[in-house]
Chain A
Amino acid sequence: MAQVSGISDEQTSTPMSSNTILLRISRFNPEHDDSSQFMEFTVPYERWTTVLEAILDVKKRFDHSVAVRYSCRQATCGSCGMMINGKPRLACFTKISELNSNVVTVEPMNNFPIIRDLAVKFERLFNTHQKIKPYLIRDDSELESDEKEFLQSPEEVEQYIQFANCIKCGLCNSACPTMATDSSFVGPQALAQAYRYVADSRDKGKDSRLKIIDDSHGIWRCHFAGSCSQVCPKGVDPAMGIQLLRGYLLGFRS
């Protein structure tokens, strides 16, 4: 049975057992709070319990007002990104047992404005994503062409399919050191998607996309720290996409 302690309490009065953890949830409402505070709950867990399940357990048993965004619970919708023990992760994809800690601290993702508690705004990510034209650009279209499909070889698909796995969860943007200070940076998510379309053999919009990202807050503000790739839950590897994309601008690729 889970137990709750007060907002300012450092410790719970319940001693830890081997199958309970102390879940610390950051609480913040920008409308009336000056700073965030942690609420602590002692929650039971099994080997397969995810952080999202623990949060939902807290919502069900103790405090329904904890704000968290989630949907699919299977790392497909990209809704439940949050800082878990200091690193951006998907709550539904992170098992408590994998964290090897008796204390699990959950906070809203960095570099995203907070709506409330663990829920953050995605406007900037969606805007930058839209900015790089995330669709196939060509003069003709399926509707006008005699052929029903744009055919591709397996090798051509291989060039971009990895980057098409992006679920727009924002973990990469949260981990990026440039995003930590630069409000105008396009971000690893959008840059990786720019590569996804530039590398697509059906696409003819390379030049217009390269023009968009060749900006003082564009691709050149990536310094290949690789944090984005280390936190990506879908194996997109944005750092690779960005460097390959930069290869076009440096003349290494055509």
Chain B
Amino acid sequence: MRESTIMKIHYGTALAAIALVAVHILMRLTQGFAESLEYESVLANYRFIPYAAMLELILILLAVHGFNGLRVILLELKQGRTYEKAVSYGCLVAMIALIAYGSRTIIMTNMGMV
């Protein structure tokens, strides 16, 4: 993939994440911070499909943005063919692993498998 395409994704995920994370934080504040973290309240959030879908989207957006940011920093710190490949693939694998792990929580909770 061309670097310009990767960076357009980087900017796009950032902008989309700002809007969705703002909603996520507002949900904590409108319910009352401590109350919103109570088990029943969190469970209700996860079981409400639009909210669960939003969490899944935030997970993907931030994982893509965060691990690409890490890739950029690591690529600038050290150079070399093997190192750069390891960084790029390493970040990709870490990103997929984090999305998979987070999705497992969202999907299982949403489907009532708790």
For window 1-20 of chain B, which residues contact chain A by CB distance below 8 Å?
Answer: 2-4, 6-8, 11
Given B3, B72, B79, which contacts A218 in the complex, CB threshold below 8 Å? B3
| Interface: B77 (CB within 8 A) | yes
Given contacts A216-B84, A221-B72, A183 and B3 within 8 Å (CB-CB)? no
| Interface: A181 (CB within 8 A) | yes
User: Which A residues are CB-close (under 8 A) to B8?
Assistant: 250
| Interface: A185 (CB within 8 A) | yes
User: Which A residues are CB-close (under 8 A) to B84?
Assistant: 216
Contact B4 A249 (CB under 8 A): yes
For window 177-230 of chain A, which residues contact chain B by CB distance below 8 Å?
Answer: 178, 181-185, 214-218, 220-221
User: Which B residues are CB-close (under 8 A) to A217?
Assistant: 75, 79
Given A182, A184, A185, A215, which contacts B3 in the complex, CB threshold below 8 Å? A215
B71 nearest in chain A by CB position = A216
B side interface size, CB within 8 A: 14
User: Which A residues are CB-close (under 8 A) to B2?
Assistant: 214
User: Which B residues are CB-close (under 8 A) to A181?
Assistant: 76-78
User: Which A residues are CB-close (under 8 A) to B79?
Assistant: 182-184, 217
A side interface size, CB within 8 A: 15
Closest Cβ of chain A to B63, distance in Å, is: 20
Contact B4 A214 (CB under 8 A): yes
User: Which A residues are CB-close (under 8 A) to B72?
Assistant: 220-221
B77 nearest in chain A by CB position = A181
Closest Cβ of chain B to A60, distance in Å, is: 42
User: Which B residues are CB-close (under 8 A) to A220?
Assistant: 3-4, 6-7, 72
In the bound assembly, the distance between CA atoms of A218 and B7 in angstroms comes to: 12
Closest Cβ of chain A to B9, distance in Å, is: 12
Contact B3 A214 (CB under 8 A): yes
User: Which A residues are CB-close (under 8 A) to B78?
Assistant: 181
Given A178, A214, A249, which contacts B76 in the complex, CB threshold below 8 Å? A178
In the bound assembly, the distance between CA atoms of A107 and B11 in angstroms comes to: 39
Q: Mark B68-102, 1 if CB is under 8 A from A, else 0.
A: 00001001111100001000000000000000000
In the bound assembly, the distance between CA atoms of A108 and B90 in angstroms comes to: 37
Closest Cβ of chain A to B86, distance in Å, is: 14
In the bound assembly, the distance between CA atoms of A181 and B73 in angstroms comes to: 10
User: Which B residues are CB-close (under 8 A) to A249?
Assistant: 4
Known: A182-B79, A221-B75, A250-B4. 14 other contacts (CB 8 A): A178-B76, A181-B78, A182-B75, A182-B76, A185-B76, A214-B4, A216-B75, A217-B75, A217-B79, A218-B3, A220-B4, A220-B7, A221-B76, A249-B4
Identify the 5 closest CB pairs spanning chains A and B, nearest first: A182-B76, A249-B4, A214-B4, A184-B79, A183-B79
- 14 CB-based A-B contacts, threshold 8 Å: A181-B76, A182-B75, A182-B79, A183-B79, A215-B3, A216-B75, A217-B75, A217-B79, A220-B6, A220-B7, A221-B75, A221-B76, A250-B8, A250-B11
